[in-house]
Amino acid sequence: MAIIGIDLGTTNSLVSVYQDGKVQIIQNIFGENQIPSAVAVDEKGRILVGRPAKERIYRYPKDCAIEFKRQMGNIERIEIGEKSYLPEELSAFVLKKCKEEAEIYLNEEVTEAVISVPAYFDNQQREATKNAAKIAGLVCNRIINEPSAAALAHRMHTGISMEQYILVIDFGGGTLDVSLVDCFENIVEIVGVSGDNQLGGKNFDEQIAKAFLKENKLDAKYLSSEEYSLVIRKAEEVKIALGGKEKVTMGCKIKDKLYTMVITQEKLLSITGNLLMALKDVMVKVIQDAGCTIEEITDVLLAGGCCRLQIIQNYLRELFHREITFPNDIQELVVKGLGYYTGIMEKKAGLEEILVTDVCPFSLGVNVSGQSINQVMSVIIPRNSTLPKKAAKEYISKTKTQKEMVFSVYQGENYYAEENKKLGEIRIPLYPTPGKLQTVLTTFSYDINGILCVEVKNSQGIKMKKKLLGTGSTTPDKNIFQEKYLPRELEEYTAIHEKLARLYAEASERNREELERWIDSIEYAKEHEGYVENIKLLRGVKRYMEAYEEAVCGENIFQMNIADMFYDNRDSYL
């Protein structure tokens, strides 16, 4: 049975498998590699996952959830329509979709997956990811850091066996991950990681939207959630459309009035300059931590959709005084690496045995309750230690009559324990011996999946053990398989239907007539699904939408007067 690799992204998820001597990225029903990480409910209470859910968000933002990876490990529930879910449950829907796509492609059941997470994910977030897999019916024995996967793909593609120091910058939709990877012979070793799991492409969209509202003297407070979501979507569209161009125009129709803003590379830079500074801070931290210099870095490897931004590429070129590796498959690098990894796990012929090691992204330590006035954190495993790592420290009781010692476990870099993140607590009884202070040996074992086990042993040899999941982590056992799903055959119709309805809502009166006819045809086809005619219809409507969007959002984009001119005849597309 094949093991699959899943890049569970904030924005998009991808699935791969190692087959016939190469990595195969599995395509979904739409013929696309990427499954949007989106979940929604429709008017019948059915669950929509991926493209149909992403399309639905524009008209029914309250019924949809996106970017829940940012909340991974939290216990606050996210509402969609009448229902509410934990972030890991929403992720489980996406993982289940990935599993299904793989099963259809492979024509066999899939039960095991390797899943990637940002290197900066803490214990709780990693545990939540594994739990999401479990809910989705997948065993996940190995979690891999996204940059390690990207570096592995790079290593396999270039086949270079001399030592390379690669700085991997994975700038996705909602997270930034920077790692320094040492590739030497058959070892891919992470030597340093840092990141920001609240920084990504989404922040660029928000800043553009903010500038747009300001320039047009609009107040976000007075916009409905649908209107605000439209502004954000137009901001993302304009960000992507700008590409290498000098300028484009962003246009947005709010309460029947058209608002515009011209955006140039220079303007984008001025609006989002603070985000580049944040990117720089993360890179500096990694390089400094690893104790190396910019000159020692052999390659700068970009991954993640956000790295497609011209301003980021220019900035990095300037900063590193060199050409930057800019692979075409920038958004597929991680999943390709995972594909190779599954091949290595399955010991597939032709694949050399490559060892992918990892590091601990935070310092881990304890504070012994009541021991010191300052409540400092005593570090047991320093950050960037290679995993798996086991380390121990001895602590002495404060008084000779003390009956218990309480260890609070923390992760983080702050001097004071309280300023770090508390992962849990472990207690050990003491049996006072007259005239003697007691000692307790505290051992931390941090495994390759970032799971921390704490053991405390007193002078009498009594041990207490605890696997730490962090505060507030839960282990829900919800059966999402019992939910009512939108049938797979209807996914494509639904996504197209949603998109047409959205285009209709934004269209000028003249164009609406034609769109209405398409909507009627799709609605009819949805009910009479299965006719050969429908294939023709689906192809036709896709071609129409492409041409329509190009006309509406083409070269000098987003100007509604261009949209007004587009009322092409439906029949010419069939």
Chain residues that interact with ligand ADP, rule: CB under 6 A? 9-12, 172-175, 200-202, 236, 239-240, 304-306, 308-309, 331
Tell me how far, at minimum, the Cβ of 294 lies from ligand ADP, in Å.
25
Cβ closest to ligand ADP, residue 26 vs residue 519: 26
Tell me how far, at minimum, the Cβ of 32 lies from ligand ADP, in Å.
12
Q: Which does 563 bind (CB under 5 to 8 A by kind): ligand ADP, Mg ion, none?
A: none
Q: Which does 5 bind (CB under 5 to 8 A by kind): Mg ion, ligand ADP, none?
A: none
Residue 10 CA to chain centroid, in angstroms?
3
Q: Which does 129 bind (CB under 5 to 8 A by kind): Mg ion, ligand ADP, none?
A: none
DSSP annotation of 26: P
Cβ closest to ligand ADP, residue 21 vs residue 243: 243
Q: Looking at beta carbons, which residue is closest to ligand ADP?
A: 201
Q: Which does 174 bind (CB under 5 to 8 A by kind): ligand ADP, Mg ion, none?
A: ligand ADP
Tell me how far, at minimum, the Cβ of 173 lies from ligand ADP, in Å.
4
CA distance 178 to 361: 11
Tell me how far, at minimum, the Cβ of 36 lies from ligand ADP, in Å.
9
Q: Is 424 one of the binding residues for Mg ion (CB under 5 A)?
A: no
Q: How far is CA 318 from CA 203, 269, 313, 564, in A?
A: 22, 14, 9, 43
CA distance 269 to 248: 14
CB burial readout 542-567, b (16+ within 10 A) else e: eebbeebbebbbeeebbbbebbeebb
Cβ closest to ligand ADP, residue 216 vs residue 310: 310
DSSP for 287-342 reads HHHTT--GGG--EEEEESGGGG-HHHHHHHHHHHTS--B--TTTTTHHHHHHHHHH
- In the three-class reduction of DSSP (H, G, I as helix; E, B as strand; rest coil), residue 23 is classed as strand
CA distance 168 to 183: 12
Residue type, 340: Y
Tell me how far, at minimum, the Cβ of 354 lies from ligand ADP, in Å.
23
Q: Which does 12 bind (CB under 5 to 8 A by kind): ligand ADP, Mg ion, none?
A: ligand ADP
Tell me how far, at minimum, the Cβ of 7 lies from Mg ion, in Å.
6
Cβ closest to ligand ADP, residue 174 vs residue 192: 174
Cβ closest to Mg ion, residue 340 vs residue 446: 340
Cβ closest to ligand ADP, residue 117 vs residue 452: 117
Q: Looking at beta carbons, which residue is closest to Mg ion?
A: 172
Tell me how far, at minimum, the Cβ of 424 lies from ligand ADP, in Å.
29
Q: At what angle do helices 488-506 and 509-527 cross, to 10 degrees?
A: 170
Contact 324, 372 (CB under 8 A): no
> How many chain residues interact with Mg ion (CB under 5 A)?
2
Cβ closest to ligand ADP, residue 127 vs residue 236: 236
CA distance 504 to 407: 61
Cβ closest to Mg ion, residue 9 vs residue 73: 9
Q: Is the dihedral of CA 452, 458, 461, 464 positive or negative?
A: negative
Tell me how far, at minimum, the Cβ of 8 lies from ligand ADP, in Å.
8
Q: Which does 155 bind (CB under 5 to 8 A by kind): Mg ion, ligand ADP, none?
A: none
Tell me how far, at minimum, the Cβ of 17 lies from ligand ADP, in Å.
19
Residue list 354-373, contact with Mg ion (CB under 5 A): none
Tell me how far, at minimum, the Cβ of 332 lies from ligand ADP, in Å.
9
Cβ closest to Mg ion, residue 9 vs residue 61: 9
CA-closest candidate to residue 444, choices 385, 508, 520: 385
Write down the residue that tokens 């009627």 correspond to: 520
Looking at 165-173, 252-260, 436-444, 531-539, which segment touches Mg ion (CB under 5 A)?
165-173
Looking at 170-178, 183-191, 500-508, 540-548, which segment touches Mg ion (CB under 5 A)?
170-178
Cβ closest to Mg ion, residue 117 vs residue 311: 117
How large is the C-alpha radius of gyration of the chain?
26
Would you state the structure tokens that stand for residue 328, as one six-digit string? 């075409």
Which of 5, 9, 36, 339 is in the footprint of Mg ion by CB under 5 A? Answer: 9
CA distance 557 to 412: 46
CA distance 60 to 56: 6
Q: Which does 424 bind (CB under 5 to 8 A by kind): Mg ion, ligand ADP, none?
A: none
Strands 355-356 and 187-196: parallel
Strand partners, 182: 165, 189
Cβ closest to ligand ADP, residue 250 vs residue 454: 250
Tell me how far, at minimum, the Cβ of 563 lies from ligand ADP, in Å.
22
CA distance 563 to 508: 7
CA distance 230 to 274: 24
DSSP H stretches of helix in 346-450: none
Q: Is 172 one of the binding residues for Mg ion (CB under 5 A)?
A: yes
Q: Which does 201 bind (CB under 5 to 8 A by kind): Mg ion, ligand ADP, none?
A: ligand ADP
Q: Which residues bind Mg ion (CB under 5 A)?
A: 9, 172
